[in-house]
Chains A and B, each alone.
Chain A
Amino acid sequence: MRISTSMINQSAVNGIMQDETALSTTQNELSTGLSINTPADNPVGEVELLQLDNTSSQYQQYISNGQSANTNLELENTALTSSTTTLQSIRDLVVEANSGSNSSSDLKDIATQISALESQLQGSANSQNAQGDYLFAGYSVGTQPFVRGANGSMSYLGDSGAPSVQIDSSTSVQMSDPGSSVFMDIPAGNGTFTSAASSSNTGTGVVDTGSVTNAAAWVAGQYTITFTDPTDYTVTDTTSGTQVASGTYSAANGGEIAFNGIQVGITGAPAAGDTFTVSPAGQQDVFTTLDNLVSSLNNAGSGAAASAQLSSSLGSSLQQIDQALGQISTTTSNVGSRISLISSVNSSVTSQSATVATQISNLSGLDYASATAQYSQEYVALQAAEQSYAAIDQLSLFKYL
């Protein structure tokens, strides 16, 4: 086959150019450290890379969501802990007031102390975070949730919203608890019913908070226990007036009065005509409980009957405070479990994120060993092409003529 002189040059130049292109591509890979420098280098890999990049930044966001929720929950935890301490102090004061050895001025002093502690509790309930958002306001974080109205009673101006954030593709965590569920909606009495002594009682009977003996037999309703004489009583349904039970009262056997699956204990000596009421348990907020407590301490009369009434009232207050403490402690433990959930999810997200980072580097990172080997191979090829061209260039028959 004959080959034209210009083609000898042309193909040598083509070869050198091809080698140079290959060398420059490899050089670019070596300098960026990436095997995919534009989507055309590996279209399928590029799409996978974009998805992995998205996943990776989503993981970073989950971690930051978790940290943000964690900060909020830690603040909530602090507020709840201080609320618990405050309520414990109040409880101690109530126990002291109930000792029966206090004069009315002592009781007033206790009432003053409790009022001060109640303000402290209100402060905790109105806790704010660094941005000035109220922790216990539900969604209405811009509104102070616990405010005393013109009539002196506390109202909740927040709502029952509970924002949550995503800390994993399938896990959301609640960032806060609305004040309504922490401080407001506290089951009254023993959770099923409340008991109270009438303020017009003349005897010294003190009613306890009672208990449920047979939940199936309990019929929710208003009941009145009326003492026809110091030892006999009747129980009537207040709404219908129907008598549901009657019996003989004996303080010796614990003074238990049982009807409709519940029982209440009355101690002391009730007088004829004294009444005690049993009502279905609703809910009572902790501030109403404390307001009632302060008012009964301030207004405590003298005498045995008044002292019995105070005792009944303090007993039920103590029960309410315990309910509130229970509610707060439930919330605190929920907060604690959310914090630990965040920490465990965050560590699993962090390890998933590391896996994705490895995948990204496997996909787009350059294998330096093979790239360097390829570079030297291409370098040698280019050198050979250049040298052989220089040699072929010397060949011409005209030299010998």
Chain B
Amino acid sequence: MGDMLSNSVTGLLAFQTALDTISNNIANVNTPGYSQQTTNLVTAPATQTGVGSIGNGVAVDNVTRSYSDFLAAQTNTANSSYNQLNTVSTLAASIDNMFSDPSTGLSATLQSFSQSIQTLANSPSQTSARQAVLNSAQSVISQFQGYQGNLTQLGAQVNTQIGAEASTISSLAQNIASLNQQIMTAQGSNSSQPPNSLLDQRDNLINQLSQDVSVSTVRQSDGSVNVYIGSGQALVVGTTAATLTATPDQFNSGQDDLSLQTGGSNVDITSALSGGTLGGLLQFRDQMLIPAQNALGQAAITLTNLVNTQNAAGLDQNGDVGGALMTVGGPQVLASTNNQGNASVSATVSSLGGLTASNYYLEYNGTAWSLVDSASGVASPLTAGSGGTLSGAGLSFTVSGTARAGDEFLVEPTSNAVSGLSMLTSDPSKIAAAGPLVTSTGTGNGGTASVASATVPDTSDWTRGDYTITFSTPTAYSVTNASGAVVTTGTYTPGTPLTPFNGIDVSLSGTPAAGDSFAIDDNANGTGDNTNALALAAILNQGVLNNGSTSLSDAVNAYVGTVGLQTSQAQNGATAQQSVLNSAQSAQSAVSGVNLDEQAADMVQYEQAYQAAAQTIATAQTLFESLLSAVES
């Protein structure tokens, strides 16, 4: 009976503990990171007697949590991927939205600029048509600047967020390290009783960390967990946490780099980081933001060069050779703060066809310079020119001072372009609508020849004036200027152009007779000429980019397509990763989560057992009383 009583008591105590655990489970049904706990009961060691082994009731072995390292790691990985893609997709949408309306986008604005020039070509002498061209050029510039402003703001936002992420990661690391310490202490005192709530807290922190950056963990025998981020950089080792900080990069280009600080060492790990919100921010910055700024800059440089070059090929309303109408920011070369030499490098755009939307590293190895694409790492050919200049990637570099081996420069060919974009004139007469020359066939010419074309390839080589080509025989000609002085003489072969004179190229068609003359006059009065305006209107469709294969209009359209594609990829990726994350979370929750119905059933089960144990005590009492009454009577 003594056994019966004490066995019942062990039952009562054990079931109480089990009911405590159940109530704890129910209380924590909505606690993030909580793992369902189970009271593990064992049979108490039996007493060996002469009549056999008599049981001593039940004992509580321990309370364990339902947890799977594998499923937790899967959830963390899915969480990192989802957060990276979700960050990219959210930020990408802000670039995507800039181009949301095709009728007000850059493409449409450029097109209306081109059309305003065509309207000018219809009436080149009309000031209002000229003013309209300047206005639409200004709209193009405003649009470029608006886009650039948005991108700059986005860049600042990304930098701020990177800094915030770095401090979040550092503080999570600190907390994980301190939990490691507490868990080690708890396990040291009683290794068979797992400190469930501490473990849950730590796993929850690691899960939070996986939101910020991709994370991997290695469990140690002392109960601590080592945490690695990115491609294996140790963030927490035992009870030591490293600090992640965002600092300006070595070129001070305005982008922050991330470095990991442990003890005395400070290592730049920007390129090794991926996953999570931080990975998303870095991916967006490198793959969308910088390329977007560069593409915009490339378009601005191309437009400015094309407009200025074509304007300089004609004559403005005052009869002067057209000047530059627009100006644009030049390439930017930034020296690394780690450079040992005192060299400085400047760059200018030398070829539109070679110009790219990439950034480059210009590196000196002690004997030679090399140019490497900063995104792809592919070397770009660099050729030495006269006067110690180097040219590559559509740029011409001038190095002054002395570089030492290992010195490095960041070359941003186009990122600075839009900030320097502006109109150089507000005078509508400065638009060169007219061609430089006007030709006529002499009155009384006996031959069949006429001027097929007369052009000035480069107005800076042109000596202005009226010229007359006179044939003394059908094959010999002389060129005289307005005062009758002979400029040049030559031999004419039908089908081949005349020898260029004073910057003018002339081609004749047909056969001239002796005595025939042709006037090649300066078109200074040609306010009604629209030849150059037509050429200006056509510049958007001129193949100039990618070594002449792509027009500006195509490049702008293709760029909008690229932005759309990147955004939709990020959006689709985020959606797909969302469902991966959901299923990983539900798999983990199937193991660790609390189900109230299950808890209710368990509760009923233990309640009944508790009642039975209590009933056993009552029975023991009855038995005892019947014995007592037998003795009393």
Contact = CB atoms under 8 A, between A and B. Distances in A.
- Whether chains A and B associate is yes
A137 interface: yes
Interface in B505-552: 521, 523, 525-531, 534
A138 B567 contact: no
Interface stretch (A2-10, A87-95, A114-122, A225-233): A2-10
Contacts of B592: 4
Contacts of B126: 131
B41 interface: no
A108 B204 CA distance: 118
Interface stretch (A51-59, A241-249, A305-313, A349-357): A51-59
Given A50-B102, A141-B527, A401-B604, A165 B122 contact: yes
Contact of B102 (A7, A49, A65, A161): A49
B293 interface: no
B329 to A, nearest CB: 26
Nearest to A360: B102
Interface footprint category on A: 35 or more
A33 B534 CA distance: 37
A5 B531 contact: no
Contacts of B590: 1-4, 7
Contact of A3 (B527, B582, B595, B600): B595
A283 B445 CA distance: 9
A209 to B, nearest CB: 18
A44 B107 CA distance: 15
Contacts of A280: 446
A165 B433 CA distance: 13
B123 interface: yes
A282 interface: yes
A35 interface: no
A163 to B, nearest CB: 5
Nearest to A131: B126
B444 interface: yes
Given A40-B567, A398-B600, A2 B595 contact: yes
B115 A57 contact: yes
Nearest to B570: A40
Nearest to B523: A139
B595 A5 contact: yes
Contact of B438 (A49, A159, A176, A185): A159
**For the complex, would chain B's binding face be called helix, strand, loop or mixed by DSSP majority?**
helix
Interface string A133-171: 110011111110000000000000001110111100000
Contact of B112 (A37, A57, A131): A57
Interface residues on B, range: 35 or more
B525 A159 contact: yes
B218 interface: no
A398 B603 CA distance: 10
A4 to B, nearest CB: 2
Contact of B557 (A47, A68, A143, A165): A47
Contacts, number: 213
Given A4-B593, A40-B96, A53-B102, A397 B601 contact: yes
A3 B589 CA distance: 7
B386 interface: no
A61 B541 CA distance: 15
B553 interface: yes
Interface stretch (B78-86, B151-159, B376-384, B558-566): B558-566
A64 B99 CA distance: 28
Contacts of B111: 53-54, 57-58
Interface string B557-592: 110111111011001000000000010011001101
A180 interface: yes
B604 A14 contact: no
Contacts of A142: 125, 525, 527-528
B632 interface: no
A111 interface: no
B607 to A, nearest CB: 9
Contacts of A49: 102
A2 B598 contact: yes
A161 B314 CA distance: 15
Nearest to B582: A14
A7 B561 CA distance: 40
B119 interface: yes
Contact of B440 (A47, A140, A176, A180): A180
Contact of A7 (B567, B586, B598): B586
27 contacts: A7-B589, A10-B589, A11-B582, A38-B99, A40-B93, A42-B568, A47-B558, A49-B102, A50-B561, A57-B108, A57-B111, A57-B112, A65-B121, A65-B122, A68-B123, A133-B123, A139-B523, A140-B525, A140-B526, A140-B527, A141-B527, A142-B525, A142-B528, A163-B124, A175-B122, A283-B444, A397-B600
